[in-house]
Amino acid sequence: MRKRMGAIAGLLIALMGLFAMAPASGQTSETEYAAALDGLFAELAAAPDPAAAQGISDDIWRLWMEPPDAELAARMASTLELRWRGDVAGLIATLDAVIAEYPDYAEAYNQRATVNFMLGKYDESLADIAATLEREPRHFGALAGRALILKERGEYEQALETMRAALKIHPFLGERALFPELSEDAIEA
C-alpha cells in the first residue's frame, strides 16, 4: 500500500508541474474567466480520448492557477517558486496568507490540500478539499485527491463514489486505474 501511495504522490508531483506551464492569456474580467472555465469544462466532458482530455485539463489548471486578479495571480505564481525550491514551510505560509486574503479562491485551498496530502496530513487535506469543492464543485483534482485519501483510509465505497463523481467531470483521470471496477464503460451517467 505504501508503494502505491508513493506512486500516487509521484503522479501528484508530476501534475503540480503543469502549473509552471505558460500562462493563459486574455483574462480581463471575472465574467470572461468564468465563461472560459465553463467552456473548457463542457469540452472536457465531451473529450473523445485521453490526449484531448489532457490538453483541456491543462488549460483548466492554467486558469485555476492564474486568476484574473493580477495580485492574486502573482501570489500564486510565487507558490510555484517555493514549490520548486522545496520550501514547504514557505509554501504553506503563502497559501495560508492567500486564503486569508482571498477566502473565495478555490485553488489556494486545493494547493494547500495537495501539500498536506504529500505530508500525510489527511485530515487537513480533506478539510481543504471540502473548502475547494464548496467554491468549485467541478474541481476534478480535489475530487480525485479525496478519493485517494478515502481509499488509503479503507473507506473504499466512499472513495469509489467520489472517483465516479470526478470521472463525470474528467472522464480520463489517471487515478481511475486505482479502481479496477471503473472501466470506461462502467461509469454511470
pLDDT at 188: 45
Identity of residue 96: D
Which DSSP symbol is given to 25? -
Residues with Cβ < 8 Å from 5, sequence gap 6 or more? 148, 152
Tell me the average pLDDT across 118-132. 97
Q: Domain spans of the chain? A: 2-20+29-183
Alpha-carbon distance 114 to 188, whole Å? 27
Per-residue pLDDT, averaged over 66-78, amounts to: 95
3-state secondary structure at position 110 = helix
Mean pLDDT of the chain: 87
Please report which confidence band the pLDDT of residue 28 belongs to, taking 50, 70 and 90 as the band edges.
low
* pLDDT recorded at residue 33: 95
pLDDT for residue 27 is more than 80: no
Measure the CA–CA gap between 136 and 78, rounded to whole angstroms: 22
Helix (H, G, I), strand (E, B) or coil at 87: coil
pLDDT score recorded for residue 45 = 95
Average of per-residue pLDDT across 46-58: 96
Cell 464503460 sits on residue:
185
Residues 54/56/61/64 CA torsion (nearest 10 deg): -160
Buried b (16+ CB within 10 A) or exposed e, 137-158: ebbbbbbbbbbbbbbbeeeeee
19 falls in which pLDDT band (50, 70, 90)?
A: very low
Report whether pLDDT(15) > 50: no
Distance (Å, rounded) from C-alpha 184 to C-alpha 166?
13
Q: Look up the pTM and report it.
A: 0.83
Q: Provide the grid cell at 8.
A: 500516487
Spell out the residues 6+ positions from residue 140 whose beta carbon is closer than 8 angstroms to its own. Answer: 57, 166, 169, 170, 173
CATH superfamily of 2-20+29-183: Tetratricopeptide repeat domain (1.25.40.10)
Residue 11 pLDDT > 80, yes or no? no
Express as a percent the part of the chain with pLDDT over 90.
80
